[in-house]
């Protein structure tokens, strides 16, 4: 798949204000500061489509982007949040859960995981939660340029092994680097395949 046009559409504080669910939708989520905005910008060939920030917790709403006039890319707030109030966390958690469980045109959730770290409890808990809800997802290991290939491969392997303690079958996974433009084609091809299988 080639992304020819990508436009910011709307930021919604809840599912009720999201665009009509009239086309396939692919959501991106991860812990704060995992490199989500940078990955979205890489996929869409635009440097400033999703706003990047050095301070975690920049994304606070459900952000919809129109891609090729054919599908929606959705940028969700992170989990394991930045320094925000308890009330703010609760409202984000509720908003994310409602979106994930009720958005009928959601085809896949990309869960972004920092490849520099060994498996984090918070990531595994989120993955297991999606499994319980029966929501299709793929794993995206980010920032592969920040460590050696060997370290990245080891951390990816450790995460998948940790999943096998509770999962019989592993989801698709991708290793990415926005600096080296790595993983872009594989993710877009995967989106293409999912959309083709729906049609």
User: What is the distance between the alpha carbons of residues 88 and 81, in angstroms, rounded to a whole number?
Assistant: 10
pLDDT of 80 above 60: yes
pLDDT of 199 above 70: no
Task: Specify if 1 maps to a domain.
Answer: no
pLDDT of 198 above 70: no
> Taking residues 121-131, what's their average pLDDT?
94
Tokens 């050696």, residue located: 148
pLDDT band at residue 59, thresholds of 50, 70 and 90?
low
Q: Give 197's DSSP letter.
A: H
Task: Find the CATH number of the domain harbouring 52.
Answer: 3.40.50.300
* 63: enclosing H helix or E strand: strand 62-67
Task: Specify if 100 maps to a domain.
Answer: yes
- Total of domains in the chain: 1
Q: Could you tell me the residue range of the domain that residue 183 belongs to?
A: 8-198
């Amino acid at each position: 798949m080639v992304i020819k046009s990508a436009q910011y559409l709307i930021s919604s504080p809840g599912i009720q204000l999201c665009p009509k669910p009239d086309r396939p939708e692919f959501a991106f989520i991860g812990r704060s500061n995992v490199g989500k905005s940078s990955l979205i910008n890489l996929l869409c060939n635009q440097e400033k489509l999703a706003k990047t920030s050095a301070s975690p917790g920049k994304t606070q709403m459900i952000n919809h982007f129109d891609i090729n006039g054919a599908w929606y890319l959705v940028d969700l707030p992170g989990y394991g949040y930045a320094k925000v109030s308890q009330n703010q966390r609760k409202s984000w958690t509720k908003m994310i859960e409602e979106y994930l469980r009720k958005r009928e045109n959601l085809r896949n959730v990309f869960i972004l995981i920092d490849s520099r770290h060994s498996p984090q409890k918070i990531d595994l808990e989120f993955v297991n939660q999606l499994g319980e809800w029966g929501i299709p997802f793929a794993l995206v290991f980010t920032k592969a340029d920040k460590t050696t290939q060997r370290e990245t491969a080891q951390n990816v392997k450790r995460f998948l092994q940790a999943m096998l303690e509770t999962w019989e079958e592993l989801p698709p996974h991708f290793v990415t680097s926005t600096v080296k433009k790595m993983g872009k084609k594989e993710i877009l091809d995967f989106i293409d395949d999912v959309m083709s299988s729906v049609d």
